[in-house]
Chain A
Amino acid sequence: MNNMIVLPMAIPVLAGILFIFFRNNIYLQRWISLFVMVANIGIVAYLLNRVQTEGVLRLDFGGWEPPFGILFVADSFSLILVMTTSIVAAICLLYSFSSIGKARENMFFYSFVNFLVAGVNGSFLTGDLFNLYVCFEIMLLASYVLIALGGKKAQLRESIKYVIINVLSSWFFLVAIAFLYGSVGTLNMAHISERISESGQTPLLTVISIVFLTVFALKAGLLLYFWLPGSYSVAPTAVAALFGGLLTKVGIYAMFRVFTLFFYHEPSITHTFIGVLAALTLIGGSIGAVAYKDIRLIVTYNVVIAVGFILVGLAVATPEAMEGSIYYLIHDMIVKSLLFLLAGTMITVTGTTKIDEMSGLIRNYPLMGWMFFIVMLSLAGIPPLSGFIGKVLVGEGAVNAGSYILLALAFLSSIFVLYSLLRVFLQCFWGETIISTEDEVPVKKGWMIPCAILTIATIGIGLGAESLYLYVSDAANTLLNPQIYIDAVLYE
């Protein structure tokens, strides 16, 4: 019995429900939610090792056999992502303990964080297309609340935009599912894949695949990222870090699933399309990252660049590029949350978001400054750190596939990332110290410890890439050979 597979989604849901009863017991809520995330890390680590020996695991809900019932499927790719999600969520919770404030904590903040994580984990684990939609909605509903919680003017304005764009894209998602169900007559992902390969990917199915691409591009911020910088910059720091680390990654995951499992028969159309979108995203994100002087906007445009970069790997679709994308996805989830946390802390201590109003912070906050430096190097892909291996593998894949334009854009975007963050570093941390020792806002331990853990994690992933390789290569292998997934779901 693989009942354990449901736990990464079921435990956060249960915790989120229980917190409503203990509304006023904040300490209990804090430590239980932290415990939930840590327990998830343990469960997923166990499952991940089981997948290496036993192959793809599945859990049929209610005992109904696959094409007929809904199910959770755990392969290396989804488990790696669930693991990273749990780590990021645990760190963001740790940061929110000392930063989110009592008013929000009393308004069910921890419940919604748990529901958000449940939605994200469910989206990663599900093996049914409609279930993916439902998990997306769980995640989005929780994120609507988290973005609006606090009720400031800017939050309300941006949350309206965010809700409208997501309602629209969810509607497109439903329509796409309806089209696909009408064409192939099933919702089970493995079964859809099999039906499509039996009938061949007809032009109609290719059109449906483009509708799916539109949906996930809206969710992930692939070219259609116009809503992203605004919404991500109004939320409180811990929430913004959660969003930056998790939300767009679910869209990316769905795109990987859909275009490696269902629509892989016409890469000359679909994957070229993804390639073009990724290229435009890299260009747009790079322009955005260097154009602004608001640190929150610089950071959010860096999220956009990373989305483009990861999807270069999908567009190229060679084994190396897939592995590179998976490495980069893990790296990006961790480092983007760290970047958001550091940027948020900088805004808290200086009281401004403009980088030309900050200066000389390194004298007041040396630890923060050097952590920012490490993040910058890691995002740019400097060798000992975690961004390096992903970039190299994606680059290798692009060279092997002969996509030199994508290769050039991907690596040029690294320079833009480096430039945009170096500008922040030079402008804010170096130069004349503007905050005198008396006016210093004391940095709480609760702000620096989570950042330090993530910094250690990015160094650790960079140095320990070899030990992760076993899982990453298995994940890439399953993605590139859909038959493994289909066999595990339908024929075991």
Chain B
Amino acid sequence: MPVIAAKRTLRSHPSSPPRKSPRRCTAATPNSTPTMNRFGADENRADPEAVKPKWNPKDGEQLKRVKLALHLSTAPSSVVCREEEQNVVLEFCKGCVEHQKAGSLYICGCPGTGKSLSMEKVKDKLLNWAKEAGLPQPDVLSVNCTTFTNTSDIFTKILGLNQTQGKKVSATPLQQLQNMYSQKSSNKNMTLIVADELDYLITKDRGVLHDLFMLTTFPFSRCILIGVANAIDLADRFLPRLTSLNCKPIVVNFRAYSKDQILKILEERLNELPYTVFQQQAMELCARKVAAASGDMRNALCICGRAIEMLEAEIRESACNLNTSLEEISSSRQNLATAPDFMKKREFETVRTDHMARALSKTYRSPVVDTIQSLPHHQQIVLCSSMKHFRGAKKDTILGELYKSYVGVCKSCIIPPAGILEFSNMCRVLNDQGLIKLGQSREDKLRRVSPKVDEGDITFALQGVRFFHNCL
């Protein structure tokens, strides 16, 4: 079937060359009509989804919808590629609600893998399920631990959910919670606590985190605790006593997205649009690069947004060229027929592989090489002498020694060296940009210098300059 489709595509190519004379255009029309009808009919029969037209990047409304579909803040209706993880968490919460039993769960994964988004979906599903099953709906508390000035503020927030207790005790919120969970209570509602960015609660004695998870072990505790963080071994490293007390939380790992998952998520977001925006190869390139680098879905969405901007910039540039050629056309009317064909060619473009490649290089490329190439001449000599100085076993040196090396390089190239004050200023500029590391000292010449840029980067940046052929 794809072979036949390819043949039809190849056959339709000769019918689309630019038409220069009106007579040819009139003559060609009856021939192309049956071909297009046959082609369209076959396409309709074979694959209805493939009939989507290409989008018009010049249409502001379409552009807005595409960018909105790819934006981070647009949450999809269903979280793709995380169904298994959501089901594990949902079944755990259902069990706790059904049996009126407390429990704790720990969700880990790299940033950008959909942990918080999945938790939102699980929350909604749990509330809907409890309503349908006729069980009392649990109270839900979502906290982001970065917003706490004091780590023990989380207990104040948990206590605030159970405001029905009117007792004004002088005990701390943690003690009040422990007292409440140690005796029977008339309130039968479960409490779902989702603590995002859990590692912000880590203190030196780890007391807050330990007490938080210990709340689920009290005999009349009614809380379901879900902690979300990035470290896989947070429970093992910071809560080792929970294992011996038999209340270690269940760990759910959100692995980084693979290439196929990234591609599926991107397609799912773009499928809601009535037109085709990206070439398939461009999306594949983006998915492969992001999966190889970090598996971060935020990165993939940002890169697709930038690729669209590359197409936008290209269209704006061609519009300028079109204006210029239109001015030329108005002077000589013989080429007037060329303009509509030129405009037709430029319209309805999709994001191609080269747009995506440029967007990827802008995101992942380090600005170090560009900066080294545009440094002033003497600063390049300073970097070169520091590289030569650190080629041996030395890890760092002092500024006076580096200055001697710099003077040596200048003498070998018959260039008057800068003074020690200018040299010190240049080293400070390089330290500000992060190319070398300059320590602190009371006296300037005694400051410690160490390299921060790879030797290969310096060699690559300076190899084009003829001056440095002997030095490198």
A binds B: no
